[in-house]
Amino acid sequence: MRDLSIALIACCILFVAHTGCKQDDQNPDHDDQIPEINYIPVRSFPHDTLSFTEGLLLFNDSLFESTGSPVLMPGTRSVFGPVDLATGHISVRVELDKEIYFGEGIAYLDGKFYQLTYKNRIGFVYDAATYETIDQFSFLSDEGWGLTTDGESLIMSDGSDKLTYFDPQTFLVTKILYVTANESPKSLLNELEFIRGFIYANIWQSNHIVRIDPSNGKVSGWIDLAEYAIEAKEMNTGSMEMNGIAFDPVSGSIFITGKCWPKIYEIVLEE
């Protein structure tokens, strides 16, 4: 009964955390037309099991994390800050009022951090040196999910098959990229990271990361990280779906984790 209760609670949490999202009934990412990208495990670090991961990035040799705060998980908080890799705890630099906001994806660009919120249709801009809120912006999508940058534009996911590009100064939309896998819309795009000319995206409720060609929106590769999801669940039954991608351009490593996972994993892609 205890295991059943945990499963039921987890399902409720997932529903509350991202309500209004349809199931991904598209073709699987892993068929003969889309190549699998293999990876080499490097090492792992602790991760706070109360961190409901929504965003992950590397800045100034530090890993930063943004978290959400589901209603059914009173111990969670919507915070943002660097992660202590010795303990997995976030050194909180920003905390949103969880009665109003649910923290989502983050990105760094030109001395500023940008953070989405889930259902408020707004985001916040922080000075990267002081963490003071210096601006806020609105967006048209009903929900904010993942956020990254190609060095010029901010790129946002909203749980659908589209990625929205907008100007980081004016916040005007400059491009809509529709993502497809084998000519079918690829929805449930979640946390994002721009890596060597491609957009990498977690697929919500899966253990997959897909690689997206920004020139045409096509999924050009996928990574199966099920082994880490299984290990996370074995270590902490409250572990949920994979979410969180951060790239280190110096070492070439990618850091991945999931909501309430006990570990952050460092991998290198075989390409």
pLDDT in the model for residue 11: 45
Q: How confident is the model at residue 32 (pLDDT cuts 50, 70, 90)?
A: low
pLDDT tens, 251-260? 999 999 999 9
pLDDT in the model for residue 10: 45
CA–CA dist 156, 163 (Å, integer):
6
Please tell me what DSSP assigns to residue 25: -
CA–CA dist 207, 265 (Å, integer):
13
Over residues 89-113, mean pLDDT: 98
Tally helices (H) and strands (E) across the chain.
2, 22
pLDDT tens, 69-92? 999 999 999 999 999 999 999 999
Domain ranges of the chain: 2-19+42-269
pLDDT in the model for residue 14: 43
Query: Beta strand pairing status for 189-195 and 219-224?
Result: unpaired
pLDDT tens, 109-159? 999 999 999 999 999 999 999 999 999 999 999 999 999 999 999 999 999
The span from the first CA to the last CA of the chain, in angstroms, equals 45
Cβ atoms of 211 and 197 within 8 Å: the answer is no
In 3D, which of 261, 191, 267, 266 has the Cα closest to residue 47? 261
Environment class of 98 (CB within 10 Å of its CB; exposed 0-12, middle 13-18, buried 19+) = middle
- For 64-86, b/e burial (b = at least 16 CB within 10 A) is bbbbbbbeebeebbbbbbbbebe
| Residue 7, pLDDT above cutoff 50 | no
pLDDT in the model for residue 30: 52
pLDDT in the model for residue 222: 97
Reported residue count of the chain is: 271
In 3D, which of 139, 183, 173 has the Cα closest to residue 159? 139
Express as a percent the part of the chain with pLDDT over 90: 87
Q: Which of 11-20, 59-68, 152-161, 203-212 has the lowest mean pLDDT?
A: 11-20
| Residue 176, pLDDT above cutoff 50 | yes
**2-19+42-269: CATH topology:** Neuraminidase (2.120.10)
pLDDT tens, 197-218? 999 999 999 999 999 999 999 9
